Structure 1
Amino acid sequence: MSPRALIALLVLGLIVGSFSGSWNGGPAVCRAQMPPEQTVTTLKPAEGLEVILFAAEPMVVNPTNIDVDSRGRVWVTEGLNYRLYRNEKGEIVRQHGADRIKILEDTDLDGRADKVTVFAEGITPVPMGLAVEERYDDHGRYLGCRVYVGNSPNLMVFEDTNGDDKADRIEPLLTGFGGIDSDHGVHGMVLALDGKLYFTHGDGCCSVQPDKSQKTQNFDVVDHSGRHVRSDQLANTLRVNRDGTEFEIIADRQRNNYEIALDSFGGMFVSDNDDDGRQGCRIIHVFDGGSYGYRTPGSPRHWGEEVPGNLPKLVGTGNGSPCGLRVCETNALGDRFLGALLEAEAGTRQINVFPLTRMGATYRTTSGETLLRGDDPWFRPVDVTLDHDGSALVADWYDGGVGGHAFQDQTTGRIYRVAPKGWQPSRPSHDFGTPDGLLAALKSPVTATQDAAARALVAQGPAACATVAQLALNGSPIERARALWVWTRIDGLDPAVTLANDPDPRVREQAARILGRDVSRMGDVTFTRPEAQRPLRALERLDDLLTLVDDPDAGVRKEVILALRDLPTNHDGGKVGQALRRLTASWDGQDRWYLEALGLALQHREPAFITDLLGDPRSGAGGVFGPLDLEQTARQGDVALPPYFPADRNDAYLTPEDQFGPVTPLSRSLGLAWRLNRAETAAWVAEVLPSLDHPALRRVAEEILGRASDPAIGVRLARLATNDLTTDPNRARSAIATLASKLGGDWRAARDHQAVSDLITRALATPSLRGDALKLIAATKSPRYVNTLIDLIGGQDPELRADALETLARLSPETARPLVEEALERARGQSASNPLADASARALIRLADSPEKARDRLRDLLTDENLPLGLRREALKSLAGFQQGIDTILDLGRTQALPSELIGEARLILASHPDPRMRQRAAADLPASASKGRDFSDLIELAARNGDAQRGRAQFLAGSQACAGCHRVQGKGEWIGPDLSTIGVKYAKADLLRHILAPNEAIGYNYRTVVVALNDGQILSGLPVEDSAERLILKTADGRRITIPVAEIEERSQSDVSLMPEGLLDQWDDQAIVDLLEYLSSLTATVAVVGELEVVEPNDASSVNRLTANVEGLFDLSSLWATNPNSNQPDAARSVTLRVGLTSPGVQTARLVLDHGPGWRVAVALDGQPLTLDPHSETTLELPAGRVADLTLILKRSPQANDDASRSTLGVAVVADRPVRTTLRRP
């Protein structure tokens, strides 16, 4: 017996063996927040529509997906045993025989389901995704169906072979998927008119193993045709023939893509989820071969949309839990919904509507309208689909919270219908036995109906061609598209050639897609049978594809580019290369999606071909974009430049109104060089860079060079930076930062080059760049700078002395050791520590001969009462970085020898230790005084009380255990844990309380602690904010950033322990907790974190014309105050004017929130009208509709400010009921 057959028998026994159970089968008592009839009254449909309850518990419980069949019946998958490895406790217990597929019917046409049939049950652990494929015979009689369901490690097929609505044949279509018993596995099945099955696979996190342990596990699948496909590229969009052959990866590097939706033209869209606080949930327009940037190596951002090679999102939806997705191809709900995306958003409790506007190679959209939204905190829409009459059906998981694999209810679930007011129930009436009936069914908004009609027409073969061709040539665009799929399945590819001249560009794009689509080679693909590797279709139909090379529509040309990406450049006399030159030349210099398609087709071409595209900058001869004309274009910075997308914020996206600047041959050439990231393009940029006079152009050029791997590029960059030092230190600073980062990796061979040494010497002579020079010295790892560092340690600048000492400890430990001891001794008897002493404590681990000696020396510092408390605190932190040190802290605590002032801090540090044994020891040896040890059962009644949100806000921001020390809310606070700006939308009070009390219960995947063991014995833990080939940057629980060269890491792992310690509410009284919950539950307004600011009037920072916020939404202002050799103005007299445009979807009152240090004075104006900031640096904004409002900030240093006391960062956020967008340029 084959392994596949054995799996099938085991699954069949598990599922069919439990059919004897009742259809509701769950606990008898429902614990709903509201009864379904009451919840309906809280739901708010779009104007002109109404909402009607179709089904509720106990008929349906915990729905995960829904589908509609050709007879108007609603299919639903249920997930009662959802992630029990995390949730089985209290009222959440295993429901044997649960996790079903049900069929719901409204037999009496009163609008509500009254009949339920259990199609299959006992689908362990939980069915995710649902697609119903019905079968009819030649006379239109129903024969049965095949139902596709995701249930990692399998993609399952449940087959009803005799039409009795019972699954009697069950087997895995494919097996080998990860994300077992996790949301991050297989889901999102959709039947497509090309005859394939499309589905999604999350990033495989938390995949439960037989021993109950978890690991990240993607997939390793051998399909029925012999294709062996593996992936380690996080989440993927996938497709396969329905017989299990030609399994392929369409696109990768997503996070947790719940569902795919296709339009009739073959356009693909995916809803992708992100952790709370990241503001990163999104919908993407999927390209064949596309990569979507999640956790891009080398990018400090959560989504590397600023990195060439990554496709940006179509729309950002902020925080939430995006689930089901559907393209609405009917106007039954209203003309404004025709062609729009409908997205079920369980986190924000609404069905989003995103109308699509075709622009360039993709679409753009706007947000704002919802099809349905709810005020019941338990309303959790997880899927949306369309019925035969065009009304929408919405599945409601109905629970107090979503996310982190947690839930709290196994007894409730609802399905609602959204329809035009006055809607009346009806039954579909389809004739699957005649050609006219099949064409009518093909026009249905129901996917299963379309699919059944298409397969019936295909089964008729050539006899159906004339009927189908008539619709393909004369129907509406959507009808033509559906008919074209069927026509080509019957008659081959020639019908696509006919429709390649269609007046609608979407149909022409579809024709190119059909002619050029090949089975993807993404991922690690091998072939167990030679016949599985089929010839390239695009090669066979090349001449037909080339007729579309000059199509006026960029989307059509994009599809041609993707078709050519695997074809040899010189095929058939160079036809492919010639076509690619023309397709490159037609790029408008602004369209990121078109550029990414070009990158896919060009990135592996011959060097000579790439060089020819760009031309020779030394002679001034241009490539495909024409002469560069550097004398003119090198000074023109107000042009469209990479990344051609607002990558400064996770929720940013392009709307139809957004525009870029003009283009020049130079700007287009830079854009192409940026995307291709080749040795040839880097050499071209290095030749051009000295001629670039505008800072915006130089910024892009330096970014391109910073991605190059050739050390010779680093040498050229060092020389250019040295030349810049005299005229513009800021311009040199960015080059120095690039060199400091790259010398530890690709440019290692340039460490000792004279050009690097010259740059360091000149930078050290420039006061504003000495700190930057130290980073460059550290990157060289060269002992030649020891004397220079000793001189700096003896200087006057406290911070520079400290940095120099830590750098010296890295380069020459023997030389640094006596200087460290001297600094520590000088601190003795002082009332306060100083930067040099603190740096000495941090350096001791690196300088000691062994971990034991480091432990002993640091223990002496920690317990020495003659040393200042700040220095002893640094010793405590250093001890906490390695195991022997932790043991010492705990021993001191147990013997009551730990300084009383530091017990609380020690407890906080060790409460988030990745090893549970250490946490237990800390709880025992470092007890908090008067701890109440309160748990959820003690406090649950507090969630029902009303509190004072303002008091809760004050407690959050400035209480004795201020939450804002780790969490950012609406522009205030730190960004260690998730941003909680909209947490009130996602969780009810009881769930908020549960997460505070048990932070390890449902940790966001991207907030799991990374633990690294270093070669010198240190153990460090924190959240990764940058993870590249050269370095890892961790953010610790106390907000520090630690930069770790990858070469110094011996081992790394991931912990399931939250950085948020347990027991945070132990010292809070009941009223304080009630007020905190009231405040958190009130956080529902949207927040626009400004990610880019235009520098309008820099007095002496000519190379800075734009500021970009870091991943935490903060702008570094230090570069604006770098000393300019030509400036004689004192700091207090200098100012900088910054500007950003704000666009509101309607007239509304918003709140501006600024976050800056005490050393800054800020003046604010909106459209030139001055505004008054309150003591918290906040003010009200009256935003207009339909235009961009200019927000201006004028910054000055306070006369009393100094570099040590004034935080040089700025945060800008706009809080509003409706989303506000930001832009640097007026449309």
Structure 2
Amino acid sequence: MHLKKACRRNYYYFYLSTVVIFLAWVGPSTLKKIGIDRSKLTEEQKRLPENAVSALKVADGLKVALFASEPMMTNPTNMDIDQKGRVWITEAYNYRINLHPDHPRKAEGDRILILEDTNGDGKADTSKVFYQDTSINAALGISVLGNKVIVSCSPYVFMLTDSDGDDKADKKEILFQGIGGEQHDHAIHAFTFGPDGKLYFNFGNAGDSILDKNGNIVRDVEGNSVNSSGKPYRQGMVFRCDMDGSNFEVLANNFRNNYEVAVDAFGNLWQSDNDDDGNRGVRINYILEYGNYGYTDEMTGAGWRARRVNMEDSIPIQHWHLNDPGVVPNLLQTGSGSPTGMLIYEGNMLPAVFQNQMIHSEPGHNIVRSYPVKKNGAGYTAQIVNIVESIDDEWFRPSDVCIAPDGSLFIADWYDPGVGGHQVGDLNRGRVFRVAPDVSNYEVPSFSINTTLDAIKALENPNLATRYLAWKKLHEQGTSVENDLVNIFNSSDNPRFRARAFWLLTKLPGKGNDYVNKALHDKNEDLRVAAFKAARELKLDLIPLVKEVVKDPSPQIRREALIALRHNTSSEAPGLWAELAQQYDGKDRWYLEALGISADKQWDSYFAAWKSKAGDNWNTAAGRDIVWRSRAKAALPLLASIIQDSNIDPEKNLKFFRAFDFHTDPSKQDILLSLLNGNHPSQKIITTYALLQLDTTNLAMTNDIKNAIDRSLEASKGTGQFLDLLARYKIKNKNPELLTMAVKNKNDELREMAAKILIANNGGSLVKSAVHKDTATAMTLVGALGGSEDPKVKDMLQSVLMDKSINLKVRQKATQMFGNGYTGQEKLMTLVSSKKLPVELKSTAQKVLLKAWRSDIQSQAKAFFNQGAGNTSFQPVATLIKLNGNSDNGKKMFTNVCSSCHQVNNNGIDFGPNLSEIGAKYAREGLYEAVLHPDAGIAFGYEGYVFKTKDGNQVLGYITSQSKEDLSVKMMGGSVSKIKKSDIVSQKPYEHSLMPTGLVSGMKQQEVVDLIEYLSALKKKS
């Protein structure tokens, strides 16, 4: 089977190669002369390199040209450009070969290439292999720094050195190791050289931890082990260190897949972060140093789907816990996507709108764009401006962007029918484009660092590799270049050139404090920000600096002063923090989070100083926010007083209840108990939420508490809070109310929760009685029970389907629900094969089992029902993509086949990735591969596990959230099962996609074509 597939692939590429050679011989000008336009090209012709540029739309004032393509290079994952203007590429022919054993591979490993345009015509004409072996398969990052090249490829970061200048690596050393995410996009990413002479980099949430070159766990400068265990860091992180890996810092944490960090001349950091697929939560972040960015719960590590007080009302916001105190706000949310490489463009060749701004590659939407920012209080706002976008070629997948020494923009194009999801559809193509006002030639500026003036000129270059060499040369010369650098700092009309000179001046022995003070008094706000960043790096006495700016009109400067007070043990620090806190306006969330970061580990003293200064006037909008954000013991009674304020509607201010979750002082228990009784107009609401925040572990159940629970249960009937109270306090006597919710509640999730609790509370007799009552009630109730793997629920459903006194439609529904889940499919198959299933239910069971997502059960069912292997006669994808489909019919096929696991525009079951914009992420080829061969690519976060628990139950699904005590597992049908970790006997990865492998085996070929037609049109509406 694999041999046949390989032969078809080889034939296909032979055909393409022939067309490439023919068109290259004919030439683009000939094509133009004979009147061929893009609309008349076949799909194969459109994807030829010489037609690539015609598929792209570029911003006004710019042009785009193809710099390099296959067969010179393929599958570029990352890129850098050296001081000579040469393009360095990390290839990924061996992409995910551990997951794709049928893919061809290079036994000698992937390559690092150097592409060069030797004649200046704007096209690469030579290609060299700098390094190749299996240790760099699908490397995700490359940084060229003189004769040293940093390659990021989990579990390693390598330092490759070209000792003799022959463009071949002579030495390979480990810089870091032990990093999670081998062959994974959420792993270690590219390194960037900062203006301060340090390395900046990040890893996504598959990174887990990092070891040094000797295999020892890296500890940051504060002594913390660098791992994602929550002590104190979680998920993806941003790092800074010296060139040798020392002085390691974690600058921010709790990202999902922060792909590449970009650093500007002032030392500001910017990056993107990907959401869980399909949730329209992709974001751009300004990095507030030492901030928590909210992908998981800061305290418990629970995922964003986990129920919590004051839960955000929309998924893109909910996704990042943005209602929680201690979460830094997002600069910009861009919707769906699969973001990759990013840079800060500090040149002047591109139009003004892109100068000094982020430039970002977004392969999920086939686009490269910029996010021009404006200062807004202590933070920023941003907009989206497109630079290059694909018109009609969905294979355009920009994986990285870089700036050449002449200021032009280069784009690496992965070129593939899909992006992400552990999948690759094409191994033989890849491109590099160049963007500039004029792309007819490529002239690299002459480069030298032989003299100080040459080095300073090179320091002003927009290319990072050039700046690195200049920085290194000037730094090595020490005080001999001080006057020249001072001249740049004092006289240049470009603040970014001044900043670069400033950073070097701060490194001069014994001069750092002088130049920090000089910059701190500069008229330029950004240089003053840089002064604080440099002062922190130099470990200067920060108190005098903070004193100078404590009343500064600029919130950006005060933000940096706050970060400077973080972990500062001076006796003056609390008073200074209080003064800065007094200037919070009650609106600027960036400033509020800077206050929180500043007070870390010193909340009690900092908060006390503020409260003393505020006195009785603390209860303002700004003051209440500071109380909400605080982790001080003294904030707890103030939270209670805010909640009890009769002028404040507690239901509209649930954030103050949520704030209790972030306090660890034992006194919070008594304060919450004090909220159970009061005279507030909305006291019932206060009582309910106070009960939900109490720690029940060692709670003495007094009559007051019992009465409070009873009142709250009565007041919250039919709501999620009612169910939460029952679960938290293990209340067993509300089965009639639970039955009502399971039957009548309009919220699917709450209906299922109520049904589960009802069965767990021995409410089976009530269920049986209700099922016999009337068909509509029975159908609803059986549907609510169907999402559970609980053995008691399965027994109940089995008793219903076997009971011939119940309406047949209800029994058929019970059969469908009984066959849900890992154990359900097995139990239904056993009933069928043992011929114990009533004959009138055989056809229902047959439909369920032939579509079982457990491949072993599906195989058994096909054999039992004599169905053979199903439809395996589909034509190759290369043929299918040429067939015309009917989108309306495809929508029907989606509803019938796919909506049991996927949503489109809020219709369907929320189990697999949301497909509302799937047409932007995958071209038709990628969609066909995903539908026909789901095992070939599994979206990150949707990997299945089989859990066996102490009661003998087995649960199959993917982990949506986990805390220290619990796992939440989402199962087929969208139901979530919470499992105590202490009850888990075994946890094994599921060897298949949770999307059924035989999904389309019962479909006709045209129905599959129609389905793809519908899916391919699902894109973001402009």
TM-score > 0.5 by shorter chain? yes
Return the offset for 1:174: 2.2
Return the offset for 1:329: 1.2
Instruction: Please give the alpha-carbon distance, in whole angstroms, between the structure 1 residues aligned to 2:151 and 2:68.
Output: 22
Work out whether residues 499 and 508 of structure 1, in 8 Å CA contact, stay in contact via their aligned partners in 2.
yes
Where does residue 1095 of structure 1 map in the other structure?
none
Where does residue 605 of structure 1 map in the other structure?
602
The answer as to 2:734 corresponding to 1:779 is no
Instruction: Please give the alpha-carbon distance, in whole angstroms, between the structure 2 residues aligned to 1:76 and 1:342.
Output: 19
- Give the alignment's TM-score, normalised by structure 1: 0.71
> Helix, strand or coil: the match of 2:598?
helix
Instruction: Please give the alpha-carbon distance, in whole angstroms, between the structure 1 residues aligned to 2:849 and 2:689.
Output: 34
What is the identity percentage for the equivalent residue pairs of Structure 1 and Structure 2? 30
The runs of 5 or more residues in structure 1 that have no matched partner are: 1-25, 135-144, 206-216, 519-536, 616-622, 629-664, 1087-1215, 1218-1227
- The amino acid across from 1:586 in the alignment is Q
Where does residue 261 of structure 2 map in the other structure?
260
Paired residue for 1:190, among 192, 197, 216? 192
Where does residue 891 of structure 1 map in the other structure?
830
Instruction: Please give the alpha-carbon distance, in whole angstroms, between the structure 2 residues aligned to 1:951 and 1:855.
Output: 36
CA shift digits 1:81-114 (9 cap, x unpaired): 111112342xx31113352222222121111111
Instruction: Please give the alpha-carbon distance, in whole angstroms, between the structure 2 residues aligned to 1:1024 and 1:766.
Output: 33
Instruction: Please give the alpha-carbon distance, in whole angstroms, between the structure 2 residues aligned to 1:129 and 1:624.
Output: 50
Where does residue 563 of structure 1 map in the other structure?
564
- The amino acid across from 1:485 in the alignment is W
Where does residue 489 of structure 1 map in the other structure?
507
CA shift digits 1:746-791 (9 cap, x unpaired): 3434472333322333345558568854642442225xx64xx477
The answer as to 2:199 corresponding to 1:244 is no
Where does residue 181 of structure 1 map in the other structure?
183
Paired residue for 1:989, among 924, 949, 956? 924
Instruction: Please give the alpha-carbon distance, in whole angstroms, between the structure 2 residues aligned to 1:37 and 1:692.
Output: 71
> Helix, strand or coil: the match of 1:1020?
strand
Return the offset for 1:382: 0.7
Paired residue for 2:58, among 45, 49, 56? 45
Instruction: Please give the alpha-carbon distance, in whole angstroms, between the structure 2 residues aligned to 1:868 and 1:1062.
Output: 34
Larger mean Cα displacement after TM superposition, 1034-1043 or 328-337: 1034-1043
Return the offset for 1:152: 1.9
1:842-881 → structure 2 map (5 Å cutoff) = 859-869=798-808, 872=811
Paired residue for 2:332, among 305, 315, 340? 315
> Helix, strand or coil: the match of 1:121?
strand
The answer as to 2:525 corresponding to 1:505 is yes
Instruction: Please give the alpha-carbon distance, in whole angstroms, between the structure 2 residues aligned to 1:38 and 1:843.
Output: 51
- The amino acid across from 1:672 in the alignment is I
- The amino acid across from 1:488 in the alignment is T
Instruction: Please give the alpha-carbon distance, in whole angstroms, between the structure 2 residues aligned to 1:566 and 1:543.
Output: 16
1:818-857 → structure 2 map (5 Å cutoff) = 820-821=764-765, 824=768, 827=771, 834=778, 838=782
1:105-144 → structure 2 map (5 Å cutoff) = 105-124=116-135, 125-134=137-146
- The amino acid across from 1:739 in the alignment is L
Return the offset for 1:673: 2.1
Work out whether residues 397 and 414 of structure 2, in 8 Å CA contact, stay in contact via their aligned partners in 1.
yes
Paired residue for 1:35, among 42, 48, 51? 48
Larger mean Cα displacement after TM superposition, 223-232 or 988-997: 223-232
Return the offset for 1:709: 5.3
1:617-636 → structure 2 map (5 Å cutoff) = 623-624=613-614, 627-628=617-618
Instruction: Please give the alpha-carbon distance, in whole angstroms, between the structure 2 residues aligned to 1:567 and 1:965.
Output: 55
Work out whether residues 119 and 165 of structure 1, in 8 Å CA contact, stay in contact via their aligned partners in 2.
yes
> Helix, strand or coil: the match of 2:914?
coil
> Helix, strand or coil: the match of 1:231?
coil
Instruction: Please give the alpha-carbon distance, in whole angstroms, between the structure 2 residues aligned to 1:702 and 1:587.
Output: 22
CA shift digits 1:123-142 (9 cap, x unpaired): 532222111112xxxxxxxx
Q: Which has the higher helix share?
A: 2
Return the offset for 1:27: 8.9
Work out whether residues 718 and 759 of structure 1, in 8 Å CA contact, stay in contact via their aligned partners in 2.
no
Where does residue 640 of structure 2 map in the other structure?
686
Return the offset for 1:48: 1.5
Q: Say if 1:147 and 1:908 are closer, same or farther in 2 by CA, change over 3 A.
A: farther
* Aligned pairs, number: 948
Paired residue for 1:58, among 71, 79, 89? 71
Instruction: Please give the alpha-carbon distance, in whole angstroms, between the structure 2 residues aligned to 1:312 and 1:796.
Output: 37
- The amino acid across from 2:550 in the alignment is V
Paired residue for 1:364, among 369, 372, 381? 381
Work out whether residues 687 and 708 of structure 2, in 8 Å CA contact, stay in contact via their aligned partners in 1.
no
CA shift digits 1:1111-1135 (9 cap, x unpaired): xxxxxxxxxxxxxxxxxxxxxxxxx
Return the offset for 1:40: 0.7
Where does residue 1004 of structure 2 map in the other structure?
1069
The answer as to 2:285 corresponding to 1:346 is no
Instruction: Please give the alpha-carbon distance, in whole angstroms, between the structure 1 residues aligned to 2:805 and 2:877.
Output: 44
Where does residue 289 of structure 1 map in the other structure?
290
Q: Say if 1:721 and 1:972 are closer, same or farther in 2 by CA, change over 3 A.
A: farther
Where does residue 86 of structure 1 map in the other structure?
99
Q: Say if 1:219 and 1:997 are closer, same or farther in 2 by CA, change over 3 A.
A: same
The answer as to 2:583 corresponding to 1:581 is no
1:961-1110 → structure 2 map (5 Å cutoff) = 961=897, 963-1009=898-944, 1011-1024=946-959, 1027-1028=962-963, 1033-1042=968-977, 1055=990, 1057-1084=992-1019, 1086=1020
Instruction: Please give the alpha-carbon distance, in whole angstroms, between the structure 1 residues aligned to 2:484 and 2:904.
Output: 60
Return the offset for 1:512: 0.4
Paired residue for 2:707, among 752, 755, 758? 758
Return the offset for 1:915: 7.0
Return the offset for 1:802: 11
> Helix, strand or coil: the match of 1:158?
strand
The answer as to 2:157 corresponding to 1:155 is yes
Q: Which has the higher strand share?
A: 1
- The amino acid across from 1:702 in the alignment is F
Where does residue 430 of structure 1 map in the other structure?
447
Instruction: Please give the alpha-carbon distance, in whole angstroms, between the structure 2 residues aligned to 1:173 and 1:766.
Output: 60
Instruction: Please give the alpha-carbon distance, in whole angstroms, between the structure 2 residues aligned to 1:912 and 1:248.
Output: 51
- The amino acid across from 1:898 in the alignment is L
The runs of 5 or more residues in structure 2 that have no matched partner are: 1-11, 18-43, 220-224, 229-233, 306-317, 746-750
Q: Say if 1:1030 and 1:395 are closer, same or farther in 2 by CA, change over 3 A.
A: same
Paired residue for 1:439, among 453, 456, 462? 456
Paired residue for 1:951, among 875, 882, 889? 889
CA shift digits 1:477-530 (9 cap, x unpaired): 101101111112234412122111111111111110011137xxxxxxxxxxxx
The answer as to 2:101 corresponding to 1:100 is no
Where does residue 478 of structure 1 map in the other structure?
496
Where does residue 661 of structure 1 map in the other structure?
none
Return the offset for 1:264: 0.6
> Helix, strand or coil: the match of 1:551?
coil
Instruction: Please give the alpha-carbon distance, in whole angstroms, between the structure 2 residues aligned to 1:722 and 1:220.
Output: 53
Q: Say if 1:768 and 1:82 are closer, same or farther in 2 by CA, change over 3 A.
A: closer
Where does residue 326 of structure 1 map in the other structure?
343
Return the offset for 1:345: 0.9
1:629-778 → structure 2 map (5 Å cutoff) = 665-695=619-649, 698-705=653-660, 707-708=662-663, 713=668, 720=675, 728=682, 732-733=684-685, 736=688, 739-740=691-692, 742=693, 746-750=695-699, 752-763=701-712, 765-766=714-715, 768=717, 772-773=721-722, 775-778=724-727
- The amino acid across from 1:511 in the alignment is A
Instruction: Please give the alpha-carbon distance, in whole angstroms, between the structure 2 residues aligned to 1:856 and 1:236.
Output: 46
Q: Say if 1:890 and 1:769 are closer, same or farther in 2 by CA, change over 3 A.
A: closer
- Give the alignment's TM-score, normalised by structure 2: 0.84
Paired residue for 2:474, among 446, 449, 457? 457
Return the offset for 1:445: 0.5
Instruction: Please give the alpha-carbon distance, in whole angstroms, between the structure 2 residues aligned to 1:331 and 1:486.
Output: 23
Work out whether residues 832 and 868 of structure 1, in 8 Å CA contact, stay in contact via their aligned partners in 2.
no
Return the offset for 1:258: 2.0
> Helix, strand or coil: the match of 2:260?
strand
Instruction: Please give the alpha-carbon distance, in whole angstroms, between the structure 2 residues aligned to 1:898 and 1:67.
Output: 64
CA shift digits 1:246-292 (9 cap, x unpaired): 23322222122221111011111122233431223222212332222
Where does residue 16 of structure 1 map in the other structure?
none
Work out whether residues 81 and 88 of structure 2, in 8 Å CA contact, stay in contact via their aligned partners in 1.
yes
> Helix, strand or coil: the match of 2:270?
strand
Instruction: Please give the alpha-carbon distance, in whole angstroms, between the structure 2 residues aligned to 1:903 and 1:550.
Output: 79
Return the offset for 1:1073: 1.9
Larger mean Cα displacement after TM superposition, 370-379 or 450-459: 370-379
Q: Say if 1:289 and 1:829 are closer, same or farther in 2 by CA, change over 3 A.
A: closer
